[in-house]
Each structure stands twice: as structure tokens, then as C-alpha cells.
Chain A
């Protein structure tokens, strides 16, 4: 079974530039999550999708971050404009629907904002 795919693996940009990350979840997983993991910290949930609908985006900085999952499969997370404090690893995870909450994570995209 293929895992959660993310690209790119690394991205270096200057502050105020824009950046986008892509995630393809495990086939059949209706729930998709984006997390931000700052160095030395645990992942922080940014947004959760159920199919193509948003379940929770309470911790998403909506003035600069946006995410979509138009066809209910793959998803993109965008930052525009980026700030220095956005430097982090952006993790995508997916899970089946239901109370058994096994989330499978991708390897992440490491973003450096200079």
C-alpha cells in the first residue's frame, strides 16, 4: 500500500514570497490533515478536511495560509506571503473516516524562509 506522498521535500524562499505544497493521501482515505512542525516542537494541526469539506481550520492563519482539496483526493497548502516564522516542516496526514483515528503521515516538506 502506497503511503502519503508529499512534494517538494525541501523548499527555500525569501520572506514575502509565495509557496505551495502538495499532498496525495492514501487511496480511500477521506480525511486529510495538514500540520506545521516547527523545529523542536510537536506537530500543530492547521486544517482538517473530510472529503473536500473543511472540518477544522481554527488554527490556520487565514491571512496568509490557504488550503484546498477540490476533488476530495489530493490537496495543496499555500502560504502567501511567507514570513520568517513560517520556517518549519509541513506534514500531511490522512486517515479513514471514523472513530479509529489512525493517522498516516507523509515525510513532510521542509520550508526555509530567509
Chain B
């Protein structure tokens, strides 16, 4: 039962470009929406997260946009760099419980 749908599956962006990854969720009880970054051979690491009381959160080059009515949220990476090449996962959870991950987006930033 896929409660968080993520797209695209893979993404290729030129250095300096904008990377955009989208997610949609089903369960309106979710109240925490993190994005994780995973490099090969490593565990996922929290990148940025948002709660549904705000529509946007920005940290450096990373921005989450959140649309509660549409049950969608997205990650924007500005000025994408080769070091950003990794797999990105969106997720959603209820408080501290029941975290559901999207299937992941493999991002490649070409120099």
C-alpha cells in the first residue's frame, strides 16, 4: 500500500540548474514531511522537513513547497551542484510514528 508517491524516478540536471522532485500523499493524518538524501553505501540523512502549518520552508539552496489541499509537496534544489548527486526520498509520518517513504528519485547533476 503506497501511501507516498514520488516522481520522477530519475532526474538529470545541469550544474547550476534547478532540480524539482514531487511527492503526493494519501493519509490526511500525516503531519510531518521530511526529505532525506542518500549516498551509495550510506543510510538516509535528513535534508529538510516541513509541517503542514506552513506552505514553504527554505534552508540554503533547498526549499520545500507544501500544498495541503492538494496533498502534495515538493523539493526544489537551486543552483544544483555535482555533489548533490544522490537519491532523494520524501516521507510522511504521524508525529513520531509510522513514517512512510516514497520510492526515491536518483538525481544526477552533470558538470
- Same complex for A and B? Answer yes
Using a CB–CB distance below 8 Å, which chain A residues touch chain B? 4, 31, 33, 40-45, 48, 55-56, 91, 93, 95, 97-99, 101-108
Q: Is the CB of B46 within 8 A of A107?
A: no
Min CB distance A110 to B, Å, is: 9
Min CB distance B88 to A, Å, is: 10
Using a CB–CB distance below 8 Å, which chain B residues touch chain A? 4, 6, 32, 34, 36, 41-46, 49, 89, 91, 93, 95-104
Q: Is the CB of B43 within 8 A of A91?
A: yes
Q: Is the CB of A43 within 8 A of B46?
A: no
Which residue of chain A has its CB nearest to the CB of B91?
A42
Which of B98, B102, B103 is within 8 Å of A56, CB to CB?
B98
How far is A95 from B97 in the complex, measured between Cα atoms in Å? 11
- Do most interface residues of chain B lie in helix, strand or loop, or is the interface mixed? strand
Q: A42-B103, A43-B101, A44-B101 are in contact. Are A99 and B95 (CB under 8 A)?
A: yes
How far is A93 from B49 in the complex, measured between Cα atoms in Å? 17
Which of B42, B45, B96, B102 is within 8 Å of A95, CB to CB?
B96
Sampled A-B contacts (29; CB under 8 Å)? A4-B43, A33-B99, A40-B104, A42-B89, A42-B91, A42-B102, A42-B103, A42-B104, A43-B101, A44-B101, A45-B100, A48-B97, A56-B98, A91-B43, A91-B44, A95-B96, A97-B96, A101-B49, A101-B93, A101-B95, A101-B96, A101-B99, A102-B34, A104-B45, A104-B46, A105-B36, A105-B45, A107-B42, A107-B43
Q: Is the CB of B98 within 8 A of A99?
A: no
Q: Is the CB of A43 within 8 A of B89?
A: yes
How far is A31 from B98 in the complex, measured between Cα atoms in Å? 12
A-B pairs, top 6 by smallest CB distance, nearest first, are: A105-B43, A42-B101, A101-B96, A101-B32, A42-B89, A43-B101
Which residue of chain B has its CB nearest to the CB of A97?
B96
Which of A43, A56, A91, A107 is within 8 Å of B97, CB to CB?
A56
Q: A56-B97, A98-B96, A99-B95 are in contact. Are A43 and B44 (CB under 8 A)?
A: yes
